[in-house]
Amino acid sequence: MVEKRKPLAVKEAIERVLKYSVHGESEQVDLQQSYGRFLAVDIIADHPVPPFDRSPYDGFAIRSIDTKYASTDHPVDFEVIDEIGAGSVSEFTIGEMQAVRIMTGAQIPSGCDAVVMLELTKVFQKAGRDYMSLKRSFNKGDNISFKGEDTQYGNILVKKGAYISPGIIALLATFGYAKVAVVKKPQIGIIATGSELLDVDEPLVPGKIRNSNSYMIDAQARRSGAEPVYLGKLVDDLEKCYEAVKVALENVDFLITTGGVSVGDFDYLPEIYKRLGANVLFNKVAMRPGSVTTVAEVNGKLLFGLSGNPSACFVGFELFVRPIIRTFLNSERAHLQRVTAILEEDFLKPNPFTRFVRGRISLTAGKVVASPIGLDKSNVVTSLADANAFIVLPGGTRGYKTGDNIDVLLIDDQTGSEFSWAESFK
Ligand SMILES: Nc1nc2c(c(=O)[nH]1)N[C@H]1C(S)=C(S)[C@@H](COP(=O)(O)OP(=O)(O)OC[C@H]3O[C@@H](n4cnc5c(N)ncnc54)[C@H](O)[C@@H]3O)O[C@H]1N2
Ligand code: MOO
Ligand SMILES: [Mg+2]
């Protein structure tokens, strides 16, 4: 008699896995290698930005008080006593009716409290000296980019755990981080099981298929911020699989196996968990695809038994492995980002389990719409290529109709989300 597995709600299953989350250590990398990594420390402003009052325009730095009576009928003349470009500092302190010709980014000379754009001035020479005239008045502070207006000293600008984007790289450079403390990437072991599996470069022969899961998982692991370690594909042989899993567990932070978790005669993972004395957190989840997703723990180390079916494997990774990787990387938004979208096609098939339909979201007339892609079966591979989201259809008897508001999880997004989205899952 085949064991009857009890399906666990998706939310509970994720929570069980997260109980075993661990945080990674930090390492220093060059700034230029830090893109796409996760910050191991907060970035705190150790100086104000800008660090000095500066000109936002090419023009003249003046004393605003000298422009008080300037008008179209009464232009006022200023003697230009110096000229500075960005990077230079004027040695002069300007006096009454004097100006410094200044370029964008240059430090405001002492005595000046406003900048006039070049276009509003007329320059001329008199008795061998440089002058400019103005036809309107200015207030103190006009056209000055003030010290600290961007950020003040001591502000926390980015919290640890943030995904390092090009914008964050700009901040790191601004504050002098030639080396950046990032969280070490977790090493994710990947083992594919299945006697039917061929290598990618092998020709098809009857009954066999190429191993696509390992390469898919490898890419998903990288996208999540982990370092995949491909440990090969194994034929369905209990001893060989057991040995490989046992050895792999010692050498990686997390281990993923694909295939062999269901109830087939050659599905050996359940027996391997037994032999390892593993604590199986669950072996059935109330979701489609990926209901066979199994997660076990051995001495605190997580072992993800993902389905052999490509779509189920893909979904299992994004729902269970990604948050563990992101938590390892200190992210507070470890889960897929959720948005609300309008369903573009009827989805009338009822199902007691929550569905994660591979779909595509797009903007149509300013609204986020989502449509399913391809065959909604756990064994399909082609729909994965075009999918940028999972359409979440909570279980129940009713189907879903065009125009329904539905939750969508973004799979190619780096921002992530806190766990709140799971609240709506059965
Ligand atoms: N009697 C039952 N049969 C099945 C059940 C069930 O509850 N009772 N569950 C079905 C569901 S749902 C799924 S999902 C699959 C899960 O199967 P396994 O995880 O045990 O995976 P395998 O049996 O090894 O393979 C399933 C399928 O996937 C293909 N595969 C495997 N590895 C790869 C790979 N690396 N790359 C590409 N494709 C792969 C394999 O050839 C099979 O076609 O079980 C159902 N059965
Ligand atoms: O685990 Mo299977 O993929 O539910 O479809
Ligand atoms: Mg099987």
pLDDT digits (tens, 9 = 90+) for 172-192: 999 999 999 999 999 999 999
pLDDT digits (tens, 9 = 90+) for 135-154: 999 999 999 999 999 999 99
Q: How many residues does the chain have?
A: 426
Report the atom number in ligand 2 closest to the C-alpha of 292: 1
What was the pLDDT predicted at 376?
86
What was the pLDDT predicted at 35?
97
pLDDT digits (tens, 9 = 90+) for 219-253: 999 999 999 999 999 999 999 999 999 999 999 99
Compute the radius of gyration of the chain from its Cα atoms: 31
User: Ligand 1, residues 230, 262, 268: which to mutate, most atoms within 8 A of Cβ?
Assistant: 262
Judged by average pLDDT, the poorest of 154-168, 197-211, 410-424 is 410-424
Between the CA of 233 and the centroid of ligand 1 the distance, in Å, is 15
pLDDT digits (tens, 9 = 90+) for 282-302: 999 999 999 999 999 999 999
Percent of the chain with pLDDT over 70: 98
Around ligand 1, the residues with Cβ closer than 6 Å are 192, 194, 196-197, 209, 211-214, 258-264, 267, 291-292, 307-310, 312, 378-379
Around ligand 2, the residues with Cβ closer than 6 Å are 288-292, 307, 309, 312, 378
| Look-up of token digits 């259809």 | 393
The protein residue whose alpha carbon is closest to atom 33 in ligand 1 is: 308
Between the CA of 313 and the centroid of ligand 1 the distance, in Å, is 9
What was the pLDDT predicted at 351?
83
Q: Is the pLDDT of residue 207 over 80?
A: yes
Beta carbons of 116 and 66 less than 8 angstroms apart: no
Q: How far is CA 385 from CA 220, 314, 359, 380, in A?
A: 12, 11, 10, 11
Q: Is the pLDDT of residue 339 over 60?
A: yes
Overall average pLDDT of the 253-265 stretch: 97
Beta carbons of 360 and 344 less than 8 angstroms apart: no
What was the pLDDT predicted at 75?
97
Q: How far is CA 311 from CA 56, 70, 193, 276, 419, in A?
A: 53, 73, 16, 28, 23
What was the pLDDT predicted at 420?
64
Q: Is the pLDDT of residue 424 over 70?
A: no
pLDDT digits (tens, 9 = 90+) for 107-118: 999 999 999 999
Between the CA of 263 and the centroid of ligand 3 the distance, in Å, is 6
Report the atom number in ligand 1 closest to the C-alpha of 236: 24
